[in-house]
Structure 1
Amino acid sequence: MAHVIDVSSNSGRSSTEEIVTPDMDSSSISTPEVDSPEFDLLDGRVSNELPHEVITAPLITRDAYQLGDGLIKAIPQYGVIGSILSVHTHNSVEAYGDPRLYLNTNAPFSAVVCGVQGSGKSHTVGVLLEAMMISGDDRLGTLNKRLSGLVLHYGEHGGPQVCEAAYQCLSSDPLVRVPTVKVYVSPSQIATMQKLYTGIFGKTVEVIPLKIAHCELDAQAFLTMMCVNSGAEPPLYVQIILNLLRDMGENFTYAGFKVRLEDKKREFNPMQLSGLQQRMALLESFLQPNLAAPRFKRGRVTIVDLTDPFIDPASACSIFEIITRLFVRADVGTGKVLVLDEAHKYLTLSKGSQEFTRSLLSIVRQQRHLGMRMILSTQEPTVIPPVLLDLCTVTIMHRFSSIGWFDHLAKHVSSDFNSDAFDAVVKLQTGQAIVLAPGGLGVFSQLGEKHRSKEYENFGRRWLVVKTRRRVTKDGGASILVI
């Protein structure tokens, strides 16, 4: 019904306008035609399906999971990752009677795990992998369909160490169905790395040289190996290579490209020829003519360990980008998990890792469409590109004492930190962590609403103090003591 009301302006003058306002008489309110098909695509009708943000919640408390049958049906598999010690908001702290915290292994997510050495960071990554790779163990939760995993590892040259994810294949419990582990290493380090891994795992882990078939090398992969940065002015010989690739277009083959390149080499000066030969030598060392057995498989942890004194972090990022692209394309018949182990060693703010960073950002943005989960493990969160921190759905902070690290993370997470939050991080015990997951689901008390019926809701800006559970596989990250 239209009402004529007096509207006063800022100048004090008044005017009359006709403004449509609802009539307060309930008898005049029309009843919606609930049987109209126009309601089918609106939220006016009750749907039996749970909202998308509930089905894809990365973390779930036990109280939320068992609240009715809805979540039990919507989230068919999950993994126990630890127990909740306390839940914090800006001005309150509460605890759970049932402290179990679940990881939703059925839906894609992205997580950052950070902390100093000895804080439990690698242990937490191992727990997350167990939840997605080990089935048939009721202690770990429910896993109806195991995932396929890819772990990227780049060791420092002070002495090679195995990638800790390889310990997923070892367990003191014979009833644990451990995943298979296959390790791909730099061809120039095959003897050293085979000796290193065999000395710990025996024949349980297969170590083979990383080789990329000619048919897997497309134009984009070739540019990546040649370290062609799209944001920088390339040298003249790189411009010639780009022209060759444009001319070949979709008909690119490595054999055909080499024939054309031989003709163009006559135009290169000695300095250009030296730069080209250096990049081509690295590329050739990772190539083979024919396609080998599939690298990725359901229930397998595939590790690419590029610990090699002849491979710098920029070159490692180039190879990682190609392997990651192949992993995304691979048809494994299940979900996938990508782990960036000790990412601070290669994923930095330097130009050499920019293309790989862009590739990771694309994966995180499309993770729901790719069926991808990504876990980024690092000791130093400040070297991780801020936009990656912005996009991650879960942040797990183990103990550290740097206020700079805390401030850096606080700028990129949505939690309601108070003055006690940094003090809590510093005082965390080994295996404890502060967990941030705005999209996680829990049941929380409401101030002033004691008699309100229980309902699950998002963690939002709350932050949790969590103790990770024990592993069923061997923990390879234990400190080496004198006595």
Structure 2
Amino acid sequence: MFTDKQSGPLKLRLAILDSFMKKVSKDAQGSNLLEGQPGALTIVDLTDPTIDTNTACVLFDIALAVFLEQTITCGKIVGLDEAHNYLHNGAASENFTNNLLKAVREQRHRATRVVIATQEPTVSPKFLNLCSMIFVHGFNSPEWLATLQAHVAGAASVSGDLQKIGRRFLDDIVGLNTGQSFLFSRLALLDVKNGNPVKLGAEVRKFKTRQRLTHDGGRSQNATEQAGLSSL
């Protein structure tokens, strides 16, 4: 028997569990929400105050496994936004990180590419070791510079005297404008010498991203602002 104080949280947990297991008619949602199709995009959004980081990582891990195991006729892209919110300390997060690293290492065999966006250097530095391309936008934290210098050849090559060269490089990063970034990619072919393409190698290249071409221009949209939808 449970007391009133115990039954409340229990019912809440059961309701959350039921929401994940609730069956929906095939006519309403299709046969498989995670089934990959050429030109299709599947968004897994677990932004919910009732879902903690560990639960989110477990669900992300399941979705990743289902998606990667599929055999489809086109390449696959796995994109993680705001990765610092869930890829940090914790058993579930560590397991998800390891599975992501495995996907990165096997991406050629799985016809898969992985894109990760983060604002904090708390994400496993092993991702930096495996990245083929790194775009570094403006930041103010010296911790980011230390992380890059420890794991990225292009950043390590400008370390030298931390009080001089490293500081100047940090000033360059802090001074980046919106849409600008530094590109680290040792295999990128950006120059031509004697008629032959030259790899970027350990150099760093300042990069300008195109202006937004989306309908909303990047502005946050709320569901209640859309036509035909009313506030709940």
Residue 322 of structure 1 corresponds to: 62
Question: What SS class does the counterpart of residue 396 from structure 1 fall into?
Answer: strand
Q: Deviation string for 1:214-264 (max 9, x for gaps)? A: xxxxxxxxxxxxxxxxxxxxxxxxxxxxxxxxxxxxxxxxxxxxxxxxxxx
| Residues 31-110 of structure 1: pairs in structure 2 closer than 5 A | none
Matched, 1:312 2:46: no
1:459, distance to aligned residue in structure 2 (A): 1.0
Counterpart code for 2:56: A
1:278, distance to aligned residue in structure 2 (A): 9.2
Which sections of structure 1, spanning at least 5 residues, go unmatched?
1-275, 446-452
1:383, distance to aligned residue in structure 2 (A): 0.9
Q: Are the equivalent residues in 2 in contact too, given 1:414–1:461 (CA < 8 A)?
A: yes
Equivalents in 2 of 1:279, 1:386: separation in Å?
Answer: 34
Which moves more between the two structures, 413-422 or 426-435? Answer: 413-422
1:393, distance to aligned residue in structure 2 (A): 1.1
Question: What SS class does the counterpart of residue 44 from structure 2 fall into?
Answer: strand
Matched, 1:390 2:124: no
1:310, distance to aligned residue in structure 2 (A): 1.1
Residue 440 of structure 1 corresponds to: 188
Question: What SS class does the counterpart of residue 196 from structure 2 fall into?
Answer: coil
1:477, distance to aligned residue in structure 2 (A): 3.7
Q: Are the equivalent residues in 2 in contact too, given 1:349–1:384 (CA < 8 A)?
A: no
The one of 85, 110, 122 equivalent to 1:370 is 110
Change (3 A) 1:332 1:277: farther
Q: Are the equivalent residues in 1 in contact too, given 2:212–2:218 (CA < 8 A)?
A: no
Change (3 A) 1:366 1:475: farther
Question: What SS class does the counterpart of residue 338 from structure 1 fall into?
Answer: strand
1:287, distance to aligned residue in structure 2 (A): 2.4
1:394, distance to aligned residue in structure 2 (A): 1.0
Residue 301 of structure 1 corresponds to: 41
Question: What SS class does the counterpart of residue 97 from structure 2 fall into?
Answer: helix
1:280, distance to aligned residue in structure 2 (A): 7.6
Q: Are the equivalent residues in 2 in contact too, given 1:443–1:454 (CA < 8 A)?
A: no
1:285, distance to aligned residue in structure 2 (A): 3.3
Q: Are the equivalent residues in 2 in contact too, given 1:349–1:385 (CA < 8 A)?
A: no
Question: What SS class does the counterpart of residue 43 from structure 2 fall into?
Answer: strand
Give RMSD over aligned pairs.
2.6
Residue 121 of structure 1 corresponds to: none
Higher relative contact order (CA 8 A, sep 6+): 1
Change (3 A) 1:337 1:331: same
Larger Rg over CA atoms: 1
Task: Tell me the TM-score normalised to structure 2 length.
Answer: 0.76
Q: Which has the higher helix share?
A: 2
Matched, 1:379 2:119: yes
Change (3 A) 1:324 1:476: farther
Equivalents in 2 of 1:363, 1:397: separation in Å?
Answer: 22
Question: What SS class does the counterpart of residue 364 from structure 1 fall into?
Answer: helix
1:404, distance to aligned residue in structure 2 (A): 1.4
Equivalents in 2 of 1:387, 1:283: separation in Å?
Answer: 33
Equivalents in 2 of 1:279, 1:297: separation in Å?
Answer: 34
Residue 402 of structure 1 corresponds to: 141
Residue 430 of structure 1 corresponds to: 178
Question: What SS class does the counterpart of residue 205 from structure 2 fall into?
Answer: strand
Counterpart code for 1:356: F
Counterpart code for 2:122: V
Question: What SS class does the counterpart of residue 303 from structure 1 fall into?
Answer: coil
Task: Tell me the TM-score normalised to structure 1 length.
Answer: 0.38
1:428, distance to aligned residue in structure 2 (A): 0.5
Matched, 1:339 2:73: no
Provide runs of 4+ in structure 1 moved above 4 Å: 276-284, 288-292
Residue 20 of structure 2 corresponds to: 286
Question: What SS class does the counterpart of residue 41 from structure 2 fall into?
Answer: strand
Q: Are the equivalent residues in 2 in contact too, given 1:398–1:433 (CA < 8 A)?
A: yes
Matched, 1:455 2:196: yes
Counterpart code for 2:200: F
Equivalents in 1 of 2:68, 2:148: separation in Å?
Answer: 28
1:373, distance to aligned residue in structure 2 (A): 1.0
The one of 356, 377, 391 equivalent to 2:96 is 356
Paired-residue identity, %:
37
Aligned length: 197
Q: Which has the higher strand share?
A: 1
Equivalents in 1 of 2:184, 2:69: separation in Å?
Answer: 31
Residue 210 of structure 2 corresponds to: 469
